[in-house]
A and B are shown apart, each in its own frame.
Chain A
Amino acid sequence: NAGVTQTPKFQVLKTGQSMTLQCAQDMNHNSMYWYRQDPGMGLRLIYYSASEGTTDKGEVPNGYNVSRLNKREFSLRLESAAPSQTSVYFCASRVGGGSEKLFFGSGTQLSVL
């Protein structure tokens, strides 16, 4: 039972570099989310996808783009990384409809130098 799988687990970037964080879930969930977690700021929603083919901005979308490639996969792209994007990134999914339970991946620790 893989659940929600995120890759990579760790990444170091230089300012201005780009990268894509990958997320895949094998639970046939409709909704997927990208969060960032920073000390003293809790979890903040970057983007979400309520269902395949749709994406919407969350609280802190600037500097990020997302792609819901199919029902399983939801990627997060940093086009030009900045030190302010140093954070731990979590992907999550839920069935949707009336179910509120979120399933989280184990996170990606990103450092931008």
Chain B
Amino acid sequence: AQSVTQPDIHITVSEGASLELRCNYSYGATPYLFWYVQSPGQGLQLLLKYFSGDTLVQGIKGFEAEFKRSQSSFNLRKPSVHWSDAAEYFCAVGARNAGNNRKLIWGLGTSLAVNP
């Protein structure tokens, strides 16, 4: 079955510290992978995506993620966290259903808190 697992429900880091949010997926073919961020009271915004090619992808707001096929992972990283990065982060996998219409499978999210 296709699934996305974000093992960490909640993470707290200090401002200026590095960050890594984990995402593992189960999918039968090469996946399309995404990270979205949700600030309080807002909709989700795309941070970055992986379709093919270079396995290290750069996104907005200084985030990057690395696709590791052997580990079925797509972890999100940032070298120095800012207080404004406090938000909910969602990993998602792009799947294709029988009707050839792609739908996303979502992880349950990781809530990030940033200490001053």
- Residues of chain B touching chain A, judged by Cβ–Cβ distance below 8 Å, are 32, 34, 36, 41-46, 49, 51, 90, 94, 99, 101-104, 106-109
Contact = CB atoms under 8 A, between A and B. Distances in A.
Contacts of A106: 41-43
A41 B108 contact: yes
Interface stretch (A12-20, A71-79, A97-105): A97-105
A69 interface: no
Interface majority SS (helix, strand, loop, mixed), chain B: strand
B103 A42 contact: no
Nearest to B32: A100
Contacts of B42: 106-107
A4 B43 contact: yes
Interface residues of A, number: 21
B44 A102 contact: yes
Interface string A91-113: 01000000011101111000000
A100 B51 CA distance: 9
Contacts of B103: 45, 48, 58
Nearest to B97: A56
A42 B90 CA distance: 8
Contacts of A105: 43
